[in-house]
Amino acid sequence: MAQTQVDMLRRALEHDGVVSAADYEQAWSNYRQCVVDKGYNAPPAVRYGNGLYSPVFTTDTNGLTQEQDLKVSEDTSTCFMEYTISVDEMYRYATANPDMLTDPDEATVDCLQRSKAAPTSYTVAQYRKEKAAYDQDLSQQYESGTDVTKDPDKFYTISLDDPAVVTCMVANGSTLFSTPEQSWKPFG
């Protein structure tokens, strides 16, 4: 872990475990710079309206050998671990999982209910059922070779256009909101 991330975590400990927005931004900036320093284009900084960044994006591997693809993956992972991962997790927890629930689905539903983006009658089981139905639909589209169309709105009863829903889902690890437009070309 880079000293900059260690320092950010120490500052958070001095403030009841809360990572400041400035340190969160800097951690992501440090990650992107690390990737650039390794000889790649800067990866996308996919940021949602709530200020959270998503570590999920698609890497365009067209024209890369398997070894190059593996190297890109290793390098980006190393940079994320070194400069960002712990700060990112602490910031996300403070944003959408203050009770530090270990099950991401449970944490998502708790966040949805606390932010009033879902009624108290919305359950973890319901969320899992909706998520599984969407995932199964995507899987079937991939297997059949048809063009994959992400249309999660027909599977979820919560409003995926609601910024509070996006905050809760992204903060708790959902990849639902990553899009092909976020595809990263490491070499241009």
Taking only the tens place, the pLDDT of each residue in 121-161 is: 999 999 999 999 988 888 887 787 776 666 788 899 999 88
- The conformation of residue 90, written as its DSSP 8-state character, comes to H
Residues 6+ apart with CB under 8 A from 149: 141
* Residue partners of 184: CB distance under 8 A and separation at least 6: 41, 43, 44, 57, 58, 59, 60
Q: Does 34 have pLDDT greater than 90?
A: yes
